[in-house]
Structure formats: structure tokens, C-alpha cells
Structure 1
Amino acid sequence: MKKNPLLKLENLGQSIWMDFIRRGMISSGELKRLIEEDGLRGVTSNPSIFEKAIAGSRDYDDAIRTLARDGKSVDQIYAALAVEDIQRVADLFRPVYDRLDGADGYVSLEVSPRLAYDTAGTIADARRLWVAVSRPNLMIKVPGTIEGLPAIQQLIGEGINVNITLLFGLPRYRRVAEAYIAGLETRAVQGKPLKSVASVASFFLSRIDVLVDPTLEKTMEMDKSKADFLDIFHGQVAIFSAKAAYRIYKEIFDGERFGKLKDQGARTQRLLWASTSTKNPAYSDLKYVEALIGPETIDTIPLETLSAYRDRGKPASRLSKGGLKAAGTLRRLSEAGMDLDRVTQQLEDEGVKKFVEAFDGLMNTLEEKRVAAIR
């Protein structure tokens, strides 16, 4: 029998996390099976995922009804539902976390997206969630906005695991890695343990190509003389960015500054590939998985992509190949009339807005269910 391709990824140094959570998967044993049979090593959540889970299923109706009749507010109902789900998932992954000595087996829970531009609010919400869930294999998701950077440093310094989300640009990624290291340095000065702290930097991919490709196509149509040059970038800017980010990762975490922390037990801040479901039907549904397999990385994928990779995946280490060329090619994007820094800032702004809208939608759904329960 052909070995499960998902299991082969672990031998190549990459972990698969699932970008999905729903109470029914936990209760039915489906998530446990994915851990045991597919080698799943973690789960991430975000406002959009919870909105789809709660609004799109009846898994939570009984719990909502009970909480509503106990007089709980919408915010309290959401907190109770999210914390319970995350605790149960963390407990399922605890054997993985223990077996790998904290190197994997995490579940992520995001601070309120309304706090994306509020440093103090992000820190306070992260502390609240960390205490409420009370699991060592929890990661608190913090947006990689300018305002998020000092929050990352502070939380890491306090020993709170952080998953940095909504990362699109290479300059911002450097600052995120530096914030992580600065937080570890704070702990080191205070004589606190470093090995117990973990972090990942979630680089969002497919959304980059979704935004860039139409502009490239329009320019190629208007100026045929540039078609061959622009075709280099078509459908590839996200992968070029990921390969360039991996080179930065190696530079920073193989460097002298982090080396001093590593000697004291510090873990690298692994790169996590997010937004890996293919949005363009012309591209392979495994496009953002196959191209980005490499050591010390994570690919977080939705359930549909996980199933597809189980059936058709072709594991091979490809991430480090062409990294220098990818970085150089990206620098030529300006010749196509495109400012990548402006593009990635637009994607960050849109990402924050989408998460806020999803969170607001979730709160509205919970309010409707709360009112219906107490009538």
C-alpha cells in the first residue's frame, strides 16, 4: 500500500496543521483520527473559522441555549464556546506536544480582530485568553501589524506562545522575527527559561496572487512586448515571496544573535504558510503545498486540501531551491509597474477588515441565537 503522503512530510521536516475547527469534529473523533492516521500536528482558528463553524452548523446550539438562559452576554457566550473548543483541541494534541518535547502539537486562538491597531488592548486580550485556556500548547494569534510588533515582544517576554498572523510582506516579516528574538532576550536577562516559549510567523500566500495576477494580466494584454517578462511573475509572486522569506528565516535564525539564545534552549520561530487553498481554478489545488515543503516549516491547510494531499500529494523538499533567484526576481517586480510593499500593505489592511467583518457577523449570529433561546 502506498504510504500516506501526509506522513512523508514529517520526514522532510514539515508539519501539517489544519486551518479549521468545529465542535462536531472534536466530538465525533474525526480530529483524533486525523492526528493518528494523517500525522496532523496542530490546528489554527480565526474569526472567520469560528463564524462558519457556529453559524454554519448546529453543533453549538445546545451550549448557546444554556449559556443564554444563564444570563450570559454575547461576548461571554463567544468566550465560553471558543475557550472550550480550544481546550478540547489542545488536549487532543497534548500527546504530540509531550512526545516532541514542545516542538509541535499546538492550537491557536486569535485575539479580537478589533484590536489589530491597539497594542495595549492586544496584550491585555492575549493575557486573558492565555489564562482562560490554560494549556501549554496554546498559541495566541496576534496580527503582524505595526501595532502588533511591540505586543509580540511583550508577550514572548512573558512566556506566552504567539502565532503572528496576517503577514504578507518581507520587511514586516523581518521585524516580526526581531520582535520574537527581543522578547526572548528579555526572558534571558531575567533568567527565565526559553525552551518553554514557542512562536510561528504565519505568511499568507494565495491572497498575494489573487491581488497581483489581474494587474499582470491586464498589463500583458495591453503591452504584448512585456508578456514574456511578466509571465515570470504570473501565479508565482506568492511562492517567490515564501522562498525569499525562508532565506530571511535561515539568515536570522542561523545568525549570531539568535545563536546565543539557542544555546540557552530557545526555539526558532518557524515559518507557517497560511492562506494555502488555491483561489484560482486554473492552478493546482495543491500549488501552495507542493512548492513550499522544507525543514522547520508548517503548512496550515483547510480540510479539503488535506484530503486532496492525502490522495495526490508528491512530497519532496522544494522550498530551499531557487531562494536566491526568487528574491532577486521579486526585486524586478517594480519593472512591471508594481510596488510589492504597497500590495502587501493593502492585503494586510483588507485582511484585518475581513476578520473584523467575520467577527461582527459571528457576534450578530450569537445575538440572534441568544435572543431566540430566552424567548
Structure 2
Amino acid sequence: MEKNKVKSIHDYGQSIWLDFIDRKIMDTGELQKLITEDGVRGVTSNPAIFEKAISSSSDYDADIRELSQEQENNEALFYSLAVRDIKRAADLFKPVFEEEVRGADGYISLEVSPHLARDTKGTIRQARQLWKAVDRENVMIKIPGTPEGIPAIRTCISEGININVTLLFSLDRYKEVAEAYIAGLEERVNANKPIAGIASVASFFLSRIDVLIDPQLKEKGLDQLQGEVAIASAKKAYQLYKEIFGSERFKKLEAKGARPQRLLWASTSSKNPAFSDTKYVEALIGPNTINTIPLETLEAFRDHGKLGNTLEQNLDKAEQVLAQLKQAGIDLDAVTHQLEVEGIEKFNKPYDHLLEAIGLQRKKALAAGNS
């Protein structure tokens, strides 16, 4: 019998995390099945995922009624709901976390409010609150890699909080994020605090790059580069990762128990129907990396995905793609800046819808309680 293709990705040193969470997937045992049969090794969540989970089902109604009496506003109520789900998922993944190489995987990610993307102090404050509330060592708090997020990442790492840096598009910003992680670890060392056990990932958003840049390529007659820029950027990022975390500076930290901040490929579902639905999984399989994928992409790869150690293949081609982009007058820095701005807005909208939906259910619950 052929081995499960999703599970086989781990043979190449890459971990598959699920970019989805709701109560139904835990209640039905489906999440446990994905862990056991597909080798899923972690979960990422975001405001859009929670908005869909809470707004489209009655699974949270009883909790909303209960918490409406306790929580002073809709945001506090949402995080109370989210923390319950995150704790439960973290406990499900604890056996993965406790495997022989302890802490290699088994992490669940919970994001700070997207409205804090430009607020360093607010981000630090909420990251601390969420870290304390979930009270699980196999949880990561998601902080966006905005200019304001960088010092927040450094501070949180220095305080021993696991961080998933989200919303990364550019190589220059990735270097800043890696620097913030290393500097945060160095602060702990200088304060005589342990650094073993602290985990972090840097989440590169891929398909959104191609969605924005491909129409520009078409206009310039560079159709052959469509769907290639995000993958080329990711391959370049991996070379930077090896350079940064293979440096003498990091080796000093490694000797004290530090782990590299792994690259995580996010936004890996194909947005263009002309592309293979497994494109952004197949092209970036390689050691010490993570790919977080929605259920549909996971099922597609299980069915017809192609396995291979592809992350370091065709590196010359990746360089050529980025060089051709520059020659054509397409400013990748401008594109990635636009994506960062739009990415914040894309998380703000579902977050606001989520709080509105919770507000409506909260009013009903309070009205029922007072009748």
C-alpha cells in the first residue's frame, strides 16, 4: 500500500501544519485523524479562520451565552472563545510536541488583534496576555512582521514567548525578523535566562505575491514568469535562512540550546485556477521548513501531489526570475509593501465582522437572560 503522500513530506525534513481550526474538526475526531494518518504536525489560525468558524455554526452559541455575563466587550469575549479552542488543540498536539526531538513541532498559533499591526506597545501587551491565558508551552503567538511588529517580536522573544511572525512578503523584512529573533535570544543570555525551548517561525506569504505581480508580467510580455516569483523569493529566503542560522553569531546561541527560527510557507493554496492546486507545496519541499496548508490543499496533495526535495533545486532559475523582474522595471519592494498594507486590511475586515457577529449573539444571550 502506498504511503500517505502528505505524511511522506516529513521524510524530506518538512513539517505540514494545518491552516485551519474550528470546534467541529476537534469534536468529530477529524483533527486527530489528520495527525495520525496525514502526519499533520501543527495548526495555524487567523482572524478570518475564526470568523468563518464562529459565524457559520452554532458550535459557539452556548459559550457566548456563558461568557456574555463575564466579558466586558466583544473582543474580550472572542479571545475567551479562541483561547479555549487553542488550549484544546494544543493538548491534542502535545504528543507531537513531546516526540524524541522535543519541541520540533506540535505548535498551535494564535494571533494578536490585526488592529495592533501598527502598535508596538499594544502588540507586546496583548502577546503577553494571550501567552499567559493559553498557558501551553506548545503555543505560538502570531505577530505581524510590520516595522512596528519587529521590536515587539524582539521583546517577546526576550521574555521567552514563542512567536510566529506572520505577514512576511519581502526578503529585506525577513532579514529584520531573523535579526529580531536572534537579538531577543541574546538579551535573554545577557540576562542569564535560559533560551532552550523557545521556538519561532517566520511565515512567508506566497500565492498573494503572484496574484499581484502576474498581471504586471502579462502586460510586459513575460507570461513565462507567471506563478514563479513567489517561489523564487521563497528559495532565496531559504538561502538567507541557511546563511543567518549557520553564522558564528547564531552558533554561540545554539551552543546554549537555541533553535533556528524556521521558515514557514503560508498562503500556499493556488489562487489562479490555471495553476496546479498543489503548486506551492510541491515546489518548496525541503529540510527544516514548514508548510501550513488549508484542508483543500492537503486533500489535493494527498490525492495527486508529487514528492521531492525541491526547495534547493533550480536555484539559478530563481535568481534569473528575480533578475528578469528587475530588468522589466517591476519593483518587487513596492509590490511587497503593497501586500503588507493590504494584508493588514484583509485581516482587519474579517476580524471586524467576527466581532459584529459575536456582538449580535451576545445581545441575544443577554436579552434572553434578562427576560
SS at the partner of 2:93?
helix
SS at the partner of 2:140?
strand
Is 2:302 the counterpart of 1:306?
Answer: no
Q: Which letter maps to 2:116?
A: L
Is 2:128 the counterpart of 1:127?
Answer: yes
Q: 2:324 aligns with which of 317, 332, 344?
A: 332
Cα distance, 1:75 vs structure 2: 2.1
Give the equivalent residue in structure 2 for 1:291: 283
Cα distance, 1:295 vs structure 2: 0.2
Q: Which letter maps to 1:77?
A: L
* Pairing 1:145-160 to 2, within 5 Å after superposition: 145-160=146-161
Deviations 1:41-94 (A, max 9, x none): 000001111001111122111211222255653123212100000000000001
* Pairing 1:2-41 to 2, within 5 Å after superposition: 2-41=2-41
Is 2:231 the counterpart of 1:239?
Answer: yes
Whether the 8 Å CA contact 1:247–1:324 is kept in 2: the answer is no
Deviations 1:143-193 (A, max 9, x none): 000011111111101100000000000000011011100011111112222
Give the equivalent residue in structure 1 for 2:217: 216
* Pairing 1:1-375 to 2, within 5 Å after superposition: 1-69=1-69, 72-99=72-99, 100-220=101-221, 230-375=222-367
Q: What is the distance in 2 between the residues matched to 1:331 and 1:189? A: 41
Q: What is the distance in 2 between the residues matched to 1:216 and 1:329? A: 11
Q: Which letter maps to 2:19?
A: D
Q: What is the distance in 1 between the residues matched to 2:168 and 2:349? A: 19
TM-score (norm 2): 0.96
Deviations 1:92-127 (A, max 9, x none): 001110113111100000011111011111000000
Q: 1:292 to 1:71 in 2, by over 3 A?
A: closer
Whether the 8 Å CA contact 1:243–1:322 is kept in 2: the answer is no
Q: 1:330 to 1:23 in 2, by over 3 A?
A: same
Deviations 1:315-355 (A, max 9, x none): 11000112354135313312222100000000000000111
TM-score (norm 1): 0.95
Whether the 8 Å CA contact 1:243–1:327 is kept in 2: the answer is no
Whether the 8 Å CA contact 1:244–1:324 is kept in 2: the answer is no
Q: 1:79 to 1:219 in 2, by over 3 A?
A: same
Whether the 8 Å CA contact 1:286–1:308 is kept in 2: the answer is yes
Q: Which letter maps to 1:52?
A: K
Segments of structure 1 that go 5 or more residues without pairing to the other structure are 221-229
Cα distance, 1:198 vs structure 2: 0.3
Q: What is the distance in 1 between the residues matched to 2:356 and 2:284? A: 38
Q: Which letter maps to 2:32?
A: K
SS at the partner of 1:369?
helix
SS at the partner of 1:139?
strand
Q: What is the distance in 1 between the residues matched to 2:316 and 2:365? A: 58
SS at the partner of 1:363?
helix
Q: Which letter maps to 2:82?
A: A
Q: What is the distance in 2 between the residues matched to 1:25 and 1:186? A: 40
Cα distance, 1:232 vs structure 2: 4.0
Q: What is the distance in 1 between the residues matched to 2:183 and 2:356? A: 39
Q: What is the distance in 1 between the residues matched to 2:151 and 2:249? A: 19
Whether the 8 Å CA contact 1:241–1:326 is kept in 2: the answer is yes
Identity %: 59
SS at the partner of 2:151?
helix
